[in-house]
Amino acid sequence: MSQQTTIRKLAALVNTPVEKLLEQLSEAGMKFSDPDQVVTSTEKVKLLGFLRRTHGRAEKGAEDPVAPQKITLQRKSTLTVGGGRNKPTVDVVVRKKVTLKPTDAAPGAASAAGGGVDDERAEILRKLEESRQRNLDEQQRLAEADRRRAEEAEEAKRLAAEQEAERLRQEAAASAVVPDEAPRKAHGHGHPGKPAAPARDDRGGGKGKPNRGSHAMVAGVEDDDSAARFAGQLHLSPADRARRGAGASRSRGRQQQRGRQPDQARTGTGFTRPTAPVVREVAIGEAITVADLAQKLALKGGDVVKALFKMGVMATITQTIDHDTAVLVTEELGHTAVRADADDAESELLAHVEDVQGETSPRPPVVTIMGHVDHGKTSLLDYIRRTRIATGEAGGITQHIGAYHVDTPKGVISFLDTPGHAAFTSMRARGAKLTDIVVLVVAADDGVMPQTVEAIQHARSAKVPLIVAINKIDKSEADPSRIKNELLAHDIVAEDFGGDTQMVELSAKTGDGIDDLLDAISLQAEVLELKAVAEGRASGTVIESSLDKGRGPVATVLVQQGQLNKGDFLVCGVEYGRVRALFDETGSQVPSAGPSIPVQVLGLSGVPDAGDDFVVVDDERLAREVAQQREAKRRELRLVQAAGNRMEDIMAQMGGGQQLELPLVIKADVQGSVEALRQALTALSNDEIRVNIIRSGVGGITESDANSAATAKATIIGFNVRADASARKVVDTHGLDLRYFSIIYDVIDQVKQVASGILGVEIREEIIGTAEVRDVFRSSKFGAVAGCMVIEGVVRRNKPIRVLRDDTVIFEGELESLRRFKENVDEVRTNTECGIGVKAYNDIKPGDKIECFERVEVQRTL
Ligand SMILES: Nc1nc2c(ncn2[C@@H]2O[C@H](COP(=O)(O)OP(=O)(O)OP(=O)(O)O)[C@@H](O)[C@H]2O)c(=O)[nH]1
């Protein structure tokens, strides 16, 4: 603290030389060597006592200031006695002694009488006292300022937390919940008022909309339960704090807070004054982004980044940190972390779904139409839709919602409205089994085609029975028996051939045979004895989804179990919501939908993916939690996958049992070489390394080649070509691996060795010098001699050389002669002229480059 008194200051204060004060302090038994040392209040008091004792020494007064002081004065006067005739005069000295007791006005007299020393002492004492007092005041003032500052900071923090918590009210309510403590008892079934409450969520997209919550809070229209949950995120009253401190369980604390909340709301503010920093308990999974963690902690992303930085972890707001780092930083920030059990809400959901197992009853079949291109799948679906669906009030036309159901005299049949194999296989890939029966359309005028066979295979692998629709029988060239014969080759045997596959001849154009097909489907369905639980909470699969401008997220779902009703809460993939409205394929609103019936659902928080499952749950809380957890999991997965693609990570994973990638940029002198290298190198890929040629082409290595290599951290292979100056700059800057080759076998060999993980010594060519040909002389003795300037490095006579024209190798060999001014030399260095004779090569031209290289052994690294 700058306000502390140093010896120098004290000396100035009491008007004493510093040395003297040091001496006095030393006499008082306090060792100080430096005048800038700080004197504490205790030391000052000690010095004061010492001075009191020593000055005027035996004076009791010094020790007992209350005792009256006794001062003795002596005065001397001389009298002259005698002085008669012949008698000498005598001087008599009279000494007078007066003892004064300074009872009243005495102190002044005393000090006056005491002389300089007493004055000084009194002055020191007074000033010391003053200084002590000043110090005390100063300390009090500073303490007061500190306290005020702390209060202000806390207030600001509280306000920020309130705003943040308000903004994030839904997420915060969920994220601050300890997974296993979660709502099993506190929420859920124990809160009958809750399902009716969240009208707010009917608007859909309720995820973290900024202002909605705050309005609700201010206006006090929030339902008590939600408000209480929200308040659980905020501040702790002294009582709650004490409870926490005493180790009371969180859930109990929350319930008590809940009980208190309505009272607070009635006070008008809805908040209590902050009495302690909010300690949040956050659930952290395997990995989390900094932004997500900040959100869970109701902090700014920057604050978490800063805290990480202080811990020595450099991470940006979008980066993912692992569980351990996240826990450390959470604790560093004064909050607590618990491991998120990824499946807790999910298992709760499962238990929830199992609850509704009940009586099963027959359900309609779900049919998918497959077949070869142009064999009439769409026509067939359209015909059935057009003629079989009683159009609704909405304009009299049927809607394409991804599926529809038709009533036949033999029962209801649902058709999935997306013909083709992609939809079927992608659904299957996602684990969704929707289809009960496949109708295979084969055009009678065409026959079994590749996609017909593919459809058979799909149906077979999904273990779904087939019904063959032999289409286009209205055509003159139609030959149904040929189709039946062709299908025999694929083990599809028609009933009239003694097999078990129903085959219906029809025309999607005229409608002939369509009823027979519907009958066949119903028959097949009976054989399959399709059953489902018709009552209770619904579950099923999303068939199609989209974002509608006016209506928000719209999903067509196929109910597979139970009854889906308007007003139900549901989890749908990573989305959730409350069913605001249900529409059938005619565009009419329906109050509910049972098993195998497709309906459009409005009211979800977002657009789910086709193939996502949906489950109706009792309350919105569970729906939201499951959806959020799934979303978090999906995001983590995405992050892990994205991170895994980066080259650094791949390299870092070396030896981790995963396939590594070896990215290469290949440039060669001719297209033939490029192709040959491409093929040879990609063929080297094995289980451990995948050779990935990210760029290839003919010609010298350019700056953009080098840049691509830098981006992909690729090795550049120059086959009989060289890098130009700007490319070399990029190579140097990024420390890229640039290798030149002139024999295809060498390239393959080197890449092969790296790919098979045989690391060891490799022979690498290193260019030691380059000379530029300025002129060419013909000599009868040596043939063509190139008058050169060494532009880089050194050219040595006994090293191999290559001749380059336009950065492309045109000759490789050795030097015949290396001369300077007619003298043979062994080497020529940069910026020196020389004459070079190339052995067995006479076609050298001005502008060519002669590069001198050597082969060196290099420890191979990846
Ligand atoms: N004559 C006749 N033509 C038909 C019949 N069914 C479909 N077509 C015609 O065949 C062509 C292809 O029919 P689509 O229904 O588009 O066939 P698709 O299998 O859905 O074709 P992709 O969607 O391309 O796979 C159209 O021109 C139809 O008019 C039929 O029963 N008789």
C-alpha of residue 369 to centroid of ligand 1, in Å: 13
Contact, 456 vs 438, CB < 8 A?
A: no
Q: Is the pLDDT of residue 423 over 70?
A: no
Does ligand 1 come within 6 angstroms of the Cβ of 728? no
Each residue's pLDDT tens digit, 1-24? 445 778 888 888 777 888 888 888
Centre of ligand 1 to C-alpha 468, Å, is 16
- Residue 471 Cβ < 6 Å to ligand 1: yes
Higher local confidence (pLDDT), 592 or 30: 592
When pLDDT is cut at 50, 70 and 90, the band that residue 348 belongs to is: low
CA distance 157 to 159: 5
The percentage of the chain sitting over the pLDDT mark of 90, rounded to a whole number, equals 21
Place of tokens 């058709």: 415
Q: Find the mean pLDDT for residues 559-583.
A: 91
Q: What local confidence, expressed as pLDDT, does residue 651 receive?
A: 45
Q: Ligand 1: distance of its center to the CA of 189 in Å?
A: 54
Q: Give mean pLDDT, residues 351-366.
A: 76
Q: Is the CB of 374 under 6 A from ligand 1?
A: yes
**Rounded to whole angstroms, how far apart are CA atoms 584 and 403?**
9
Whether ligand 1 lies within 6 angstroms of the CB of 378 is answered as: yes
- Known binding-site residues for GTP equal 371-378, 417-421, 471-474
Q: Which atom from ligand 1 is nearest to the alpha carbon of 382? A: 15
Q: Which atom of ligand 1 is nearest to the CA of 441?
A: 19
Please tell me if the CB atom of residue 382 comes closer than 6 angstroms to any atom of ligand 1: no
pLDDT at position 790 over 70:
yes
Cα 500 to averaged position of ligand 1 atoms, centre (Å) = 27
Ligand 1 centroid vs 373 CA: distance in angstroms? 8
- 3-class DSSP state of 150: helix
Is 508 near ligand 1, meaning CB less than 6 Å away? yes
Closest C-alpha among 641, 621, 623, 645 to residue 633: 641
* 589 close to ligand 1 (CB < 6 Angstrom): no
* Best mutation site among 370, 377, 379 for ligand 1 pocket (most ligand atoms within 8 Å of CB): 379
Mean pLDDT, to the nearest integer, of 461-479?
92
Q: How far apart are CA 637 and CA 639, in angstroms?
A: 5
Percentage of the chain exceeding pLDDT 70: 69
**Which atom of ligand 1 lies nearest, measured to the CA of 507?**
31
CA of 397 to the centre of ligand 1 (A): 21
What confidence score (pLDDT) does residue 834 get? Answer: 92
When pLDDT is cut at 50, 70 and 90, the band that residue 173 belongs to is low
Check pocket membership of 250 for ligand 1, CB cut-off 6 A: no
User: How far apart, in whole angstroms, are the C-alpha atoms of residue 757 and residue 861?
Assistant: 10
Q: What's the confidence (pLDDT) of residue 430?
A: 62
- Quote the pLDDT of residue 254: 42
The residue that leads in pLDDT, 570 or 426, is 570
Q: How large is the average pLDDT for residues 186-201?
A: 37
In this prediction, residues 744-771 reach a mean pLDDT of 75
| Amino acid present at 784 | A
User: Which residue from 370, 372, 374, 382 has its CB within 8 A of the most atoms of ligand 1, so it is best to mutate?
Assistant: 374
Q: Is 264 in the pocket of ligand 1 (CB under 6 A)?
A: no
Nearest CA to ligand 1 atom 32: 472
> pLDDT value at position 555?
92
Residue 819 has pLDDT above 70, yes or no: yes
- Reduced to 3 states (helix: H, G, I; strand: E, B; else coil), residue 776 is strand
| Average pLDDT for the chain | 75
Dist. CA 531 → ligand 1 center (Å): 34
Q: Identify whether the C-beta of residue 592 lies closer than 8 Å to the C-beta of residue 566.
A: yes
User: What tokens appear for 326 in the block?
Assistant: 């996240």
The finding on whether 419 has its CB within 6 A of some atom of ligand 1 is yes
Answer yes or no: is the C-beta of 373 below 6 A from any ligand 1 atom. Answer: yes
Distance (Å, whole) CA 45 – CA 52: 10
Most confident of 223-237, 567-581, 752-766: 567-581
3-class DSSP state of 662 = strand
pLDDT greater than 50 at residue 478: yes
Enumerate the β-bridge partners of residue 615: 539, 571
- What number is the ipTM of this complex? 0.97
- Which range, of 333-347, 570-584, 636-650, 678-692, averages the lowest pLDDT? 636-650
371 Cα: distance to centroid of ligand 1 (angstroms): 11
Residue carrying the six token digits 């919940």: 177
Instruction: Specify whether the CB–CB gap between 381 and 417 falls below 8 A.
Output: yes
Q: Whose CA is nearest to atom 9 of ligand 1?
A: 376
Residue 129, pLDDT above cutoff 80: no
Measured in Å, residue 395 CA sits from the centre of ligand 1 at 27
Of 29-38, 98-107, 463-472, 612-621, the one with minimum mean pLDDT is 98-107
Backbone CA torsion sign across 168, 171, 173, 177: negative
> Between 102 and 812, whose confidence is greater?
812
At 205-256, the pLDDT tens digits run 333 333 333 333 333 333 333 333 333 333 444 444 444 444 434 444 444 4
| Structure confidence at residue 393 (pLDDT) | 46
- The set of residues, in sequence order, having a beta carbon less than 8 Å from that of 554 and lying 6+ positions away, is 545, 546, 547, 548, 600, 601, 602, 607
**For range 101-106, the mean pLDDT:** 43
- Tens of pLDDT, residues 715-743: 899 998 999 888 888 888 888 888 898 88
The listed range with the strongest mean pLDDT (27-41, 63-77, 389-403, 499-513) is 499-513
Tell which atom from ligand 1 comes closest to the C-alpha of 475: 1
| Average pLDDT value for residue range 484-489 | 92
Atom of ligand 1 nearest to the CA of 373: 25
Residue pair 273/155 in contact (Cβ under 8 Å)? The answer is no
Tell whether ligand 1 has an atom less than 6 A from the beta carbon of residue 472: yes
Confidence at residue 167, expressed as pLDDT on a 0 to 100 scale: 73
Q: Which residues contact 334 (CB under 8 A, 6 or more apart)?
A: 277, 279
Q: What is the pLDDT of residue 412?
A: 92
Shortest-distance atom of ligand 1 to CA 471: 31
In the predicted structure, residue 396 carries a pLDDT above the cut 90: no
Q: What is the pLDDT of residue 768?
A: 92
Q: How confident is the model at residue 623 (pLDDT cuts 50, 70, 90)?
A: confident
- Ligand 1 atom nearest to CA at 472: 31
**Cα–Cα nearest to 371, from 274, 438, 284:** 438
pLDDT at res. 373: 86
**Distance of CA 508 from the midpoint of ligand 1 (Å):** 8
Max avg pLDDT among 166-175, 235-244, 390-399: 166-175
Most confident residue range from 352-366, 377-391, 631-645: 377-391
Read off the pTM.
0.44
Q: How many CA atoms lie within 13 A of 205 on its CB side?
A: 11
Q: Is the CB of 375 under 6 A from ligand 1?
A: yes
Most confident residue range from 264-268, 392-396, 516-520, 695-699: 516-520
Contact between 379 and 508 (Cβ < 8 Å): yes
473 lines ligand 1 (CB under 6 A): no
Of 400 and 799, the structure prediction assigns the larger pLDDT to 799
Atom of ligand 1 nearest to the CA of 508: 31
Average pLDDT over residues 381-403: 71
pLDDT of residue 202: 38
Is 769 near ligand 1, meaning CB less than 6 Å away? no
- Is the Cβ–Cβ distance between 596 and 412 less than 8 Å? yes
Q: Any residues with CB less than 8 A from the CB of 230 and at least 6 apart, and which?
A: 165, 166, 169, 172, 173, 213, 217, 222
Ligand 1 midpoint to CA 332 (Å) = 67
Out of 368, 373, 378, mutate this one to test ligand 1's pocket (max ligand atoms within 8 Å of CB): namely 378
Known binding residues are 371-378, 417-421, 471-474
H-helix or E-strand containing 635? helix 620-644
pLDDT at 19: 84
> Looking at the predicted structure, is the pLDDT value of residue 271 above 60?
no
Q: Is 60 exceeded by the pLDDT of residue 509? A: yes
Asked whether 474 lines ligand 1 (CB < 6 A), one says yes
What's the residue count for the chain? 862
Q: Give the residue, 492 or 628, on which the prediction is more confident.
A: 492
Query: Does the Cβ of 475 fall within 6 Å of ligand 1?
Result: yes
How far does the centroid of ligand 1 lie from the alpha carbon of residue 383, in Å?
Answer: 11
Report the separation in Å between the CA atom of 398 and the middle of ligand 1, taken as the mean of its atom positions.
20
Residue 648 confidence (pLDDT): 39
118-149: b (≥16 Cβ within 10 Å) or e: bebbbebbebbeebeeebeeeeeeeeeeeeee
